[in-house]
Structures are given as structure tokens and as C-alpha cells.
Amino acid sequence: MSEMSEELKKTGTTILGMVCKDGVIVATERRATMGTLIAHKSTKKLYKIDEHLGLCTAGLVGDLQVLSRYLSAEVNLYRLKRDAQMPVKSAATLMSNILNQRKFYPYYVQLILGGWDSQGGHVYSLDAAGGAIPDNYTAGGSGSPYVFGVLEDQYKDDMTVEEGIDLAARAMTAAMGRDSASGDGIDIAVINEKEFRTISEEEIKTRLEKMGK
């Protein structure tokens, strides 16, 4: 693993994505840090790119906002020109190319792109040099070791979205409990062939209470 990748693992954030049999889950927490300072407690790190695409972000806020706007604009142009949604793999390749063009003066980011298309659900992990790796589940940011610990133990290939929401909430809670750079609430979205749906804060709280968290 490159030194750049090692540095990005230290980014003060926790993000995750996972593929379920009936949808894709993407999730983040809300804390933004500057060293040991908690700079913001309601930072947006989960972006709706299109009705079938979501982007989870870790890294420098300015870079993340610019990249989310780039991708959203290109996805919208694709839909207008072709009257069809951009496939998830194509969106991941596009973002990979944008990142790679700046690998010698990189965007300081780590991204997870999740979405649903005619081929089903997909999750891609993207690094600052343009690497794009598909997987059934992945995590990023400083809290990712704790997320991976939960997902490695409890993720199943045939799990439903309902099970996935609970697992995402459990994994994010584990990360926020041990990683001081992650916290201040959880954002979770479900993407399937019908919609992009954000899970309410109240529903997440209720689910965590039922799990004893």
C-alpha cells in the first residue's frame, strides 16, 4: 500500500458501503476535525449524485465538495444526452479518471461510490490516485478498522436491506465509540431500482435502541 493510502486511512471520518440482495447501503458519520479540534458537528459526507447513485466522502472538505459536483454534473449530462442513467461502473471509472489526472497534486480524498443499475447493486472504493476497486462491502477513513471488524464478522452475501441498515448502524456506532475523529450522528441511505432513500435520524435511533446500542 502506498504512503498516500496510509495517510488517507488517518483521515478523520468513517464511511461505509455494502451491497445487499435488494439494494445498496451507504453510510457516514457527521464529525469534521482539524487535528484534535472538532471543527463541525453536522458535516455532510453522503451525497446523492442521482436517483441510483450515492457518494460517501472522507478527506478535505473543499476537494470532496468539488468532486461531488463534478460527478453529479457528468451523471446528469449523461442522462440528458442518452435518456438513460449512467451505469455504476461507468461513474466509478469517470471518477477514477478525474482523480488519476491529479495524482501528482492529488485531491486529498477517499471515496465510496454505491449504486444500483440494470446489473444490480455495486460498491466501489476509490483512492486519491484513481484506484477503483469493486467489492461487496468496504469502509474508509480513520474509523474504518472498527467498521471492518463488524462487517467481517456479520456481513452476509444474501442479507436484505433491512438487515443491512441495522448492520450499518451497528458498524458506525462501533467506529464512533472508538475513533475520536468520528461522531455526532449517522447518515444512512438505501439505493435500489426504485429510489434513493435516506433513513431518518429517528429510525436509526429506534433501530439502535432495539439492538441495545
Catalytic residue among 11, 13, 14, 43: 13
13 belongs to the catalytic site: yes
The whole-angstrom separation of Cα 91 and Cα 115 is 9
Q: Backbone phi, then psi, for 70, in 5-degree steps?
A: -55, -50
The whole-angstrom separation of Cα 141 and Cα 134 is 17
The whole-angstrom separation of Cα 199 and Cα 21 is 18
Enzyme catalytic residues:
13
